[in-house]
A and B are shown apart, each in its own frame.
Chain A
Amino acid sequence: MKLTPTARDRISAFWMLLPTFLILIGFYLYPTLYNLELSFTDITLLRLRQGGDFVGLENYSEFLTSSSFLDIAINTIFWLTVVSVVLRLALGLVVALLLNSKFLQDIRMTTVARLIILVPWATPPVVAVIAWRWLFDPTHGAINSLLLSTGLISDPVAFLATLTTVWPAIITIIVWNTTPLVAVSLLAALQTIPEELNEAAAIDGATRWQQFRFVTLPYLMPTISVLGLMSVIWTFNNFVYVWLATGAGPGTFTNVLATEVYLKAFVDLRIGYSSAIGVVMAVVMAAFGALYFRFFGLSEMQDKVG
């Protein structure tokens, strides 16, 4: 049998895409659906073989009406996501503007700065948390010895175990680890701004602030939005920073959705209940994912595959 070239191409495409397709189904789609099924049962880690009984929406109503729900939601949305994403965008923008300034280029600091920025970026999150736990340590930590020697505090502060400092401390770790990506991306965007735009604005009598506000910022806005949305998606689900910095403590003070999923499944052994929290997270993420596709995904896909 002789195949037409189109048919032959389609068969080739099928075989070439099959392994990736199997991965997407086996490790993404099917587990997601199975997670949904688990969320309607009371399955526990001790009764994995027998499975659980169907309990309807009980897990969901228990979680959404539990006393800790509001705290977890505020921790996840406000502290973990909003504060850390806003700070990393702001700080990244400042670093990018500094690196793009003529002054720093004149004193030949940009190459050094680029190398310095690489360090926190290349540091794995697990190590980033360790580094800051070391700096924050009440007995050996550099931050405490600095504050003690300048007389700003009279007793060492356990930053990651004190209610007033624990969130700012966690945010510091996240911002340190994630700002470089933002800074380098914004710097790349800054360097594409045509010089004439700023010159024209200057000739028209625009102040430097006006140039930034009406020329630079609008030009950067698409990059800032894409970075912001990606950061939100990455951070909202993040487990390692909170878990390794505080273990959701002191007590459950810094508990977020991701650590709650883990705690409920692997400490309380309630897989069904934990899966229901996972579904709640997935729904929120799907909304952000839809936003991403709406604004950036489709145009990018057209660029890539036509």
Chain B
Amino acid sequence: MSISAQKTGLSGLIERGGMLALFLVLMTFLLAPAVFVFKGSVENISISLVANEGGLTLKNYGKILSDGYFVYVFNSLYICILATVLSCTISLFAAYGLSRFRFPGRGFVFGAIMGGQFFPWIILVNPIFIFFARAGLINSHLGLILCYTAFITPFTVYLLVGYLTTIPKSLDEAAIVDGANRLQVIWMVILPIMWPGLVAAATFGFLQSWSEYLLALALITEDGLKTIPLGLYQYFGDVQVDWGAVMAGSVVATVPTLLLFLPLQKKLVAGLTQGATK
């Protein structure tokens, strides 16, 4: 569509004006909600129907701090970090095994991992709830960590296999000839090369579990054990909503994901649609 800029005269002007207007409308649509959330988080918003008091304030952030919102932040942080570390560790081995060895059933295992990425977790909530109820894992962070590990592992393996296939096998073989075993190969040869891939996979896994709501809703009912997505909805009462606190909580929930997303986006796109363009 590069011809557009070469048009001159009135029609070209109208066309560019139209494109600019469309662009501005779309960008407003995409950005405005986030701007309003941020604006709401630093404003005085009355809970009652009385008009807003106006003025900038940090009292909403003060309120969520004194409410114990940081407990949810802490819970989310450590649950998601543990699940990510666990998942990346087992995924690294799985991806290495899949990319380096040929064995019967290899295609099937890879197919199962591909299928796992699209698995509808809503179907698993009932059986997992029953297993966990019988095992005493309701209201347990261990249960949630295990679920999140299982939840993010298929995509992590998939991403890591993608990275590993770009590392020549001759590197492994050279190290083995020098007397290294497979674990040493992974530790001393593969990891130093593929750590950017591992970081990308870890970031993705962390983001996935950070915003997970359904399993947390089904498995956690005790207030002090809740994660951020559940904690945010605590502020939606039956009658009224403490909008100021919700907005401040939303900003706190989104800032880490924004920071992590910045370096990750291109890798994600490549990972997702790679197969289509070949």
> Which residues on the B side are within 8 Å of A301 (C-beta)?
107, 110-111, 114
Identify which of A32, A123, A140, A237 contacts B254 (C-beta below 8 A): A123
* A85 interface residue (CB < 8 Å to B): no
* A16 interface residue (CB < 8 Å to B): yes
* A240 interface residue (CB < 8 Å to B): yes
Contact assessment for A17 and B2 in the assembled complex, using a CB-CB cutoff below 8 Å = no
What's the interface size class on A, roughly? 35 or more
Against A, the Cβ 8 Å flags (1 = close, 0 = not) of B185-197 are 0000000000000
> Which residues on the A side are within 8 Å of B70 (C-beta)?
none
Contact assessment for A20 and B4 in the assembled complex, using a CB-CB cutoff below 8 Å = no
Against B, the Cβ 8 Å flags (1 = close, 0 = not) of A154-191 are 00000000000000000000001001110011001100
Closest CB-CB distance, B73 to chain A, in whole Å?
13
Which residues of chain B in 148-194 are interfacial with respect to chain A, using CB atoms and an 8 Å cutoff?
149-151, 153-154, 157, 161-162, 165, 182
Contact assessment for A20 and B33 in the assembled complex, using a CB-CB cutoff below 8 Å = no
> Which residues on the A side are within 8 Å of B33 (C-beta)?
120, 128, 131-132, 134-135, 176
Contact assessment for B277 and A222 in the assembled complex, using a CB-CB cutoff below 8 Å = yes
> Which residues on the A side are within 8 Å of B78 (C-beta)?
none
A-B CB contact pairs (8 Å), 27 listed = A20-B90, A20-B153, A24-B112, A27-B150, A28-B150, A32-B127, A34-B127, A35-B123, A38-B130, A98-B23, A103-B19, A104-B23, A113-B23, A116-B31, A119-B31, A127-B37, A185-B269, A189-B277, A195-B2, A223-B277, A237-B122, A261-B123, A275-B127, A301-B111, A301-B114, A303-B275, A304-B99
Residues of A within 8 A of B (CB): 9-10, 12-17, 19-21, 23-24, 26-28, 30-32, 34-35, 38, 48, 91, 94-95, 97-98, 100-104, 106-107, 109, 113, 116-128, 130-132, 134-135, 137, 139-140, 142, 176, 179-181, 184-185, 188-189, 192, 195, 198, 202, 208, 211-212, 216, 222-223, 225-227, 230, 233-234, 236-237, 239-240, 244, 257-258, 261-262, 265-266, 271, 274-275, 278-279, 281-282, 285, 289, 292-293, 296-297, 299-301, 303-305
